[in-house]
Structure 1
Amino acid sequence: MLRLGIKQKNWLLSAHVAFAALWTGTVLSMFLLALRNQHSASAEVLQALNSAINLLDDYVVIPAAIGSLFTGTLLCWLTIWGFFKHYWVIAKWIATVALIVFGTFWLFPWANATTAISETQRLQALENPLYNFDAKGVLVGTIVQVVCLVVIIAVSLLKPWGRRTVKAQEQTNSAPAS
């Protein structure tokens, strides 16, 4: 099987870390904008902040999340870490995919809805229950994503659970051929 050399692995790992940092920082920025947006007194500010959240989601978070998943896949495939050899890799995979699914089916639609409502209803959007629900969803969803991403980064650095032992595989590999 093809394996990366040390320099190639380090470049790929650097790209993976960069994508994760970009994803985390941008979602934190979205949270801060959503937090500031709760107290908008101007229709222009309300719409601008919603638009900024939407743009960050569309043009930074989505590519960074995909880049993180893609580089993580390559690291698993092309290094000794593998996909299922280590508990920490499995945990990162599950968490990353869960965050991408959450962002795709909940956070992204909430951000789009707040932008659309604030564009049409202006400052009256703050009195719209649907707008308030979606705005709270963006606020809570972004902080959940930031916390999860920080945990994923910590797991990457600490590698707390180590290597899996798979007894069925070991017995099959050590059994003499007939």
Structure 2
Amino acid sequence: MSAPTTAPGKTGHQDARKKKKFELSRRGRKLTLAVHVVTSVGWVGLSLSMAVLALMGYTTDDAAVAKGVYYAMYVFDDTSVTVFSVTASISGILLSCGTAWGLLLHWWIIAKWVITLFMTIFAWFVIHPIVMKATENTAEAGGAPPRPGWPADFLVWSVPALFVLLTAAAVISVYKPWGRTARGRRATARPRRT
């Protein structure tokens, strides 16, 4: 007599549906975790660098320094920040969906996703154009005193705030607070497949 293919009380359809769930292999999970940690930490480091540059651009009276600062911010923002934020986001989704943590089962994962989504949208659609404007304003100044204008005012408080949010996301991922969501509690209440 062959062993049953489904757990007691389960239909074959439910068991087949469980088998279709995306799951990372052990090696895949470790690789994805390594990519996620490296790109997330890199994003935090880039964010701190951008905050320091925004402060330098705001406080300097040297036109050459201001021009260099805002150009450096533009280069970081246009290249590294985009790559690191997108890679950290995608690897985070893979880890959530491909492991037992699940995407919507824990409040800490949802909090990290809200922060990540806000950061990515805000950085690309708000910060990026303002960095470009500050770069243009200081490039036009020539050797005269720098005139980055309102973009410098905006960047000096918004970029450090983004660094604080990214740091909070990192701390949340270490402490994993707030427990399971209602969906997560229902998932653990279901009997497991044998």
| Residue identity opposite 1:93 in structure 2 | W
Task: Give me the whole-angstrom Cα distance separating, in 2, the residues matched to 1:167 and 1:31.
Answer: 37
Q: Is the 8 A contact 2:62 2:146 kept in 1?
A: no
TM-score normalised over the length of structure 1 = 0.86
Indicate whether 1:76 and 2:100 are aligned.
no
> Runs of 5+ in structure 2 lacking a partner?
1-20
Is the alpha carbon distance of 1:90 and 1:155 closer, same or farther for their aligned partners in structure 2, counting shifts above 3 Å?
Answer: same
Equivalent in the alignment of 1:165: 182
State the Cα distance separating 1:77 from its structure 2 match.
1.6
Bigger shift: residues 158-167 or 94-103? 158-167
> Runs of 5+ in structure 1 lacking a partner?
none
Is the alpha carbon distance of 1:80 and 1:43 closer, same or farther for their aligned partners in structure 2, counting shifts above 3 Å?
Answer: same
Equivalent in the alignment of 1:96: 116
- Bigger fraction of residues in helix: 1
Q: Who wins on radius of gyration, i.e. which is larger?
A: 2
| Residue identity opposite 2:165 in structure 1 | C
Task: Give me the whole-angstrom Cα distance separating, in 1, the residues matched to 2:136 and 2:67.
Answer: 9
Indicate whether 1:34 and 2:54 are aligned.
yes
Q: When the two structures are aligned, how many residues end up with a matched partner?
A: 169
| Residue identity opposite 2:89 in structure 1 | L
Task: Give me the whole-angstrom Cα distance separating, in 1, the residues matched to 2:68 and 2:184.
Answer: 57
State the Cα distance separating 1:40 from its structure 2 match.
2.5
Indicate whether 1:55 and 2:72 are aligned.
no
C-alpha offsets along residues 85-133 of structure 1, whole Å, 9 cap, x if unaligned?
A: 111111111110011111122111111100011111233443xxxx332
Q: RMSD between aligned alpha carbons?
A: 2.1
Equivalent residue in structure 2 for 1:19, among 29, 39, 50: 39
Bigger shift: residues 117-126 or 29-38? 117-126
Indicate whether 1:148 and 2:168 are aligned.
no
- Secondary structure, in 3 states, of the residue corresponding to 2:79? helix
TM-score normalised over the length of structure 2 = 0.80
Indicate whether 1:43 and 2:60 are aligned.
no
